[in-house]
Amino acid sequence: MSRSLADDLPGGTGNGRLRVWLKSSAYTRRLLLGAGGDPWASAPQYLAYFSQAQGLLRPDVAVVEVGELFDAWLARHPTVAVELGAKRRLSYPLRKLLEQEAPRQLLAEVVEAVIANLRGQTPLVLAMPSPRHWLHHANALVGRGDAELDPDGIEDAAMYMADLLRSVSAYAVGGVLLEEHPADIGVADVERYRPLINVAKHYRWSLVLRPRGDAERVSLPPADFDALISPIVRAAASMSSGVDVSAALWAGSALPVLGPGQFYFVEIPAEQPPELVLESLARLRA
């Protein structure tokens, strides 16, 4: 089984074991697989890559990048991209993508394999684009990058993502991370994510939000999220707060001292030298 992320979060009912959360897939894929390397061809192939990455960085949180899985699958099946654009409805490309049986099955196999590999020692988090960003991304895949998002379309996207989460509900997932994209315009209306929020809460999976760009101004309903990750916004007292120190860490600047209920979050650039990465992580963990 997997550890629950809530058990490791600082503050609240967690034990505070989580100190450094890494977003490292771009870095580890380049380092371990080379430029353009794809670990998503099969669950065994992903597990081999995942095990190496875990051993290299020893992260406090094990992360499976669900958006990357679907992008990689679509790149291997380009004819499906034509189907995604078959209808003009805003939410259709994402709906068509997420209902594909092959990547859904691959996700289930990957989650099962990773949980077995972790042996309950590290929480498994499914990292997903926010409903708003995945809706935008799916439209961009079919040449509609300028599509104007509307609240109903975003809520539809959250509903399709909720259905995807149900497909792995049999596994002991530790939590779900929703990531906004800094290029997305406009303040995120998190209430439109309600279908996804409700499903995560139903399965008692911890829910984390990473707002970026305009979405840094998001107004959060604290009861719905267990943690917030941001370089500038601090979570309410009832939530854990991930302090994104990526910019300061890679610039060699002074790092903020963690306060109660806080942990460090770091995104590792793909081209970062391994020696600098290990030295920087040692600095954080000290």
Taking only the tens place, the pLDDT of each residue in 198-235 is 999 999 999 999 988 655 555 555 578 999 999 887 76
Distance CA 114, CA 250 (A): 29
Centroid of chain to Cα 13? 23
The string of DSSP codes covering 207-242 is EEEE--GGGGG----GGG-SEEEESS----TTSEEE
| 3-class DSSP assignment, residue 151 | helix
Q: Does the pLDDT value for residue 101 go beyond 60?
A: yes
Question: Tell me: the pLDDT tens digits for 56-86?
Answer: 999 999 999 999 999 999 999 999 988 998 8
For the cut 70, the answer to whether the pLDDT of residue 132 exceeds it is yes
The dihedral over CA atoms of 158, 239, 66, 1, expressed in degrees to the nearest 10, equals -120
Residue 255 amino acid letter: L
pTM of the model: 0.94
Q: How far apart are CA 34 and CA 213, in angstroms?
A: 30
Say what the pLDDT of residue 52 is. Answer: 97
The HSE-up count of residue 259 (CA atoms within 13 Å, CB side) is 9
Cβ neighbours for 273, distance < 8 A, ≥ 6 positions apart: none
Q: Is the four-CA dihedral 232, 247, 255, 275 of positive or negative sign?
A: positive
Contact partners, residue 276, CB within 8 Å, separation at least 6? 250
